[in-house]
Amino acid sequence: MKVLACDGIHDDGLALFRDAGWEVVVSDPIKDPAALAAALAGVDAVLVRSATAVSAQALAGAQGLRVIGRAGAGVDTIDVDAATERGIAVMNAPDGNTLAAAEHAISLLFALARHIPRADAGMKAGHWPKAGLTGFELEGKKLGVIGLGRIGGTVARKAQGIGMEVAAYDPFLPASAAGKGSVPLKTLDELLAWADIVTLHIPRTKETTNLLSEASMRSMKKGAYIVNAARGGLVDETALLKLLDEGHLGGAALDTFATEPLQADSPLRAHPKLILTPHLGASTSEAQQAVSTILARQILDFINTGAVAGCVNLPPLTAEAAREVGPWMPLMSALGRLAARLVPAPTRLHISYAGRTAGLDTRPLTRLLVAALLGPASGRVTPVNALQEATARGLTVAETLGGDGDGFDRLLRLRVEGEGPHQQPVVREIEATLHRGPRVVRLDGVEIEFDPQAFVLLLRNEDRPGMIGAVGSQLGAAGINIVNFALGAAGDGQARAAITIDKPVTDEQLALLRATPGILSLQQV
C-alpha cells in the first residue's frame, strides 16, 4: 500500500502508515492537476491540507486511489462529487484543529482590538507608535458568531470567558444542540445589525460564498469589525475594501482568502485597517499532530477493517459495528458477483436480512453487494458510489429487515430482476448465510448448497440416472477436479446441481458439456 502525503503532513501520522507497512511518499504541494494526476498513479491514499487542490482532472486516471484524506476540516479544495463518482472515500479530521482555529480567531479579535500588528511593526521600524493606537476592550462587546459548530462553538465559549456578549447565526444547528447552549441564536439580519464584531466559522460552499456581501456588510453597525478565519470567499473582498475605505467598517482580520496564497500585489495587503495572517488557523504543533494521527488511524481502520469514521461520502460505521458486519462482507461481494452472472443487467434488487438482525447496520453490506453486482458492467464501483451508480443505471434497490431466518442465525434473501445472460427477462432468487464460511443455501427456491466465492457450474438437467457420471467424466477428461457436487430437486422432473470445481472451464469445454444429452442448461459462475 502506498500513501502520498502533500502539503506538510505531521510525521506522527506518517509514522502510523510506515508502522503498518505502507510506503510513504512525501511531497511538496502539487498545484498542477496534471502533475497531481501523474503522482497519484499507484497510490492507495493521498493526504492533503489546503495547498494541494484535488480536482476532477487530477482524479480522472486515479484507478487505484481509495481514499483522499484532508488533514483538517474543510474539504472545499477537494472535488468530493468527482471522488464519489469514482468510488473514492473522502475523509477529514475536523476535531483535530478545532482549538487551534478557535484560538487563532480569538487572537485576531485581540489583535484588532489593540492594534498589535501595527504597534509591533512601528516598534521594529524604530518608532514609539503609541499615539493613534488606542484600542477598545472586548469585555462587554457583542460578538456575532456565524456557524456555531466545533470552532464557532469554541470561540463562543472562549469569548464568553472574556466577558463578551455572544449570539450566533446557524440555521443548520440540530435543535438539540441549539437548545442546550448558552448562546442565543439570531437570524443573519438580526446578528449583523446587533454585533460589534462578526466572526465566521462556516464551510465555504456555493451557498456561503460571499455570505458577507456588500449589502450584508452595510447592514452591520457603523464601525463594526469582521474576523474571517474560516474560508476565503465567504467575505466579498472587494466590497470589504470599499466599506473599510468609506469608514463603514472599523477593521477586519483575515486568515483566509479567495485566492491562496494571496497575490503579492493584492490591495488587501496595503490596507491599514486590515490584519492579515497566511491561513494560520490550524498551524499549531498540537493541531498538526492531532489531525495527522486521527486521519492516519481513520484511513488504516477503513482499509483494514471497513470501519468508517470522519468520511464525508460514506455513512459512519463504528469499529464495533465493523466487527459485527465484517464476516458478512466477503459474502456480500461474492453474492453480488454471483448475481451479476445470473442477471447481468439488473433493474430491481430486493435484499431481505432475516433472522437475528437487531443492531445490524446493513448500510455497508448493501453498498458492498450493489458495488459487486454493478462492478462487472462498468469501470469502478465501490461502496462509496454504489447507490449513486445504481440510480444512474436504473437499478432500484430495496431492503427489508427481520423475518424468519429459516433455522439460520441470519439469512440473506436476494431477489434480482432484470435481463439474463441472453437478454431474456429473468427473476433470480438466492438465499445465503454464513455457515462454515459464505454459503448459498437455496437458489430459485431449490435447496442447494455451494460456496459463492468458488468456481461453480450451475446445472439443470433431466432427472435420470447417469447424468452425474456423464458430467463428472467430461470434467475429469478436461483435467478439472470436482471439489463439491451439490444436488437439488425442484420437483418438476428436472434436477439442479451446483458443481464446485478447482479451476474454471473454458468456453469450448462449456460448449461440450452443454451438448451432453439430458443437460438443459449450464452456466459457469
Ligand X SMILES: O=C(O)CCC(=O)C(=O)O
Ligand Y SMILES: NC(=O)C1=CN([C@@H]2O[C@H](COP(=O)(O)OP(=O)(O)OC[C@H]3O[C@@H](n4cnc5c(N)ncnc54)[C@H](O)[C@@H]3O)[C@@H](O)[C@H]2O)C=CC1
The contact set with ligand X (CB under 6 A) reads: 49-50, 72-74, 97, 279, 281-283
Q: Which residue is nearest to ligand Y (CB)?
A: 149
**Which positions from 223 through 242 interact with ligand Y, judged by CB under 6 A?**
229-231
Find out whether the peptide bond into 346 is cis, omega within 30 degrees of 0. Answer: no
- Phi, psi of 358, deg, nearest 5: -55, 130
49 binds, among ligand X, ligand Y, none (CB under 5 to 8 A by kind): ligand X
Q: Which is nearer to ligand X, 221 or 279 (CB)?
A: 279
Edge-first strand order for the sheet with 45-48 is: 23-26, 2-5, 45-48, 67-70, 89-92
Cell of 342: 445470473
Establish if 251 lies at the interface with ligand Y (CB under 6 A): no
Closest by Cα among 331, 345, 354, 370 to 413 = 354
Cell of 218: 452595510
Return the DSSP state at 210. T
Return the DSSP state at 308. B
Q: Which residues of 216-236 are buried (b: 16+ CB within 10 A; e: fewer)?
A: bbeebbeebbbbbbbbbbbbb
Establish if 73 lies at the interface with ligand Y (CB under 6 A): yes
The only residue of 52, 77, 107, 256 in contact with ligand Y, by rule CB under 6 A: 256
The only residue of 13, 96, 147, 383 in contact with ligand Y, by rule CB under 6 A: 147
Q: How far is residue 284's CA from residue 403's CA, in Å, rounded to a whole number?
A: 54
What is the smallest separation between the CB atom of 101 and ligand X, expressed in angstroms? 7
Q: Are 417 and 370 in contact (CB under 8 A)?
A: no
Establish if 294 lies at the interface with ligand Y (CB under 6 A): no
Q: How far is residue 121's CA from residue 2's CA, in Å, rounded to a whole number?
A: 46
Q: Which of 279, 367, 439, 442 is catalytic?
A: 279
Q: Which of 260, 324, 399, 429 is catalytic?
A: 260
Q: Which of 49, 86, 231, 439 is catalytic?
A: 231
Q: Which is nearer to ligand Y, 279 or 363 (CB)?
A: 279
What is the smallest separation between the CB atom of 99 and ligand Y, expressed in angstroms? 10
The only residue of 143, 159, 282, 335 in contact with ligand Y, by rule CB under 6 A: 282
**Inter-CA distances, 48 with 92, 150, 180, 304, Å:** 10, 21, 35, 21
365 binds, among ligand Y, ligand X, none (CB under 5 to 8 A by kind): none
Establish if 281 lies at the interface with ligand Y (CB under 6 A): yes
- Phi, psi of 33, deg, nearest 5: -55, -35
What is the smallest separation between the CB atom of 254 and ligand Y, expressed in angstroms? 10
Map grid coordinates 445465503 to a residue.
432
Q: Which is nearer to ligand X, 49 or 115 (CB)?
A: 49
The reply to whether 508 belongs to the active site is no
Q: Which is nearer to ligand Y, 281 or 375 (CB)?
A: 281
What is the smallest separation between the CB atom of 163 and ligand Y, expressed in angstroms? 23
The reply to whether 204 belongs to the active site is no
Q: Could you tell me whether strands 519-524 and 2-5 are parallel, antiparallel, or unpaired per DSSP bridges?
A: unpaired
201 binds, among ligand X, ligand Y, none (CB under 5 to 8 A by kind): ligand Y
Q: How far is residue 480's CA from residue 505's CA, in Å, rounded to a whole number?
A: 8
What is the smallest separation between the CB atom of 91 and ligand X, expressed in angstroms? 12
Establish if 53 lies at the interface with ligand Y (CB under 6 A): no
Q: Could you tell me how far CA 5 lies from the centroid of its own chain?
A: 18
Q: Which helix (H) or strand (E) holds 497?
A: strand 494-501
The only residue of 27, 107, 199, 208 in contact with ligand Y, by rule CB under 6 A: 208
Cell of 146: 456565524
The only residue of 24, 65, 83, 151 in contact with ligand Y, by rule CB under 6 A: 151
Establish if 346 lies at the interface with ligand Y (CB under 6 A): no
> Any idea which residues carry the catalytic annotation?
231, 260, 279
- Contact residues toward ligand Y (CB under 6 A) are 72-74, 94, 97-98, 101, 146-152, 169-173, 201-203, 207-208, 229-231, 255-256, 279, 281-282
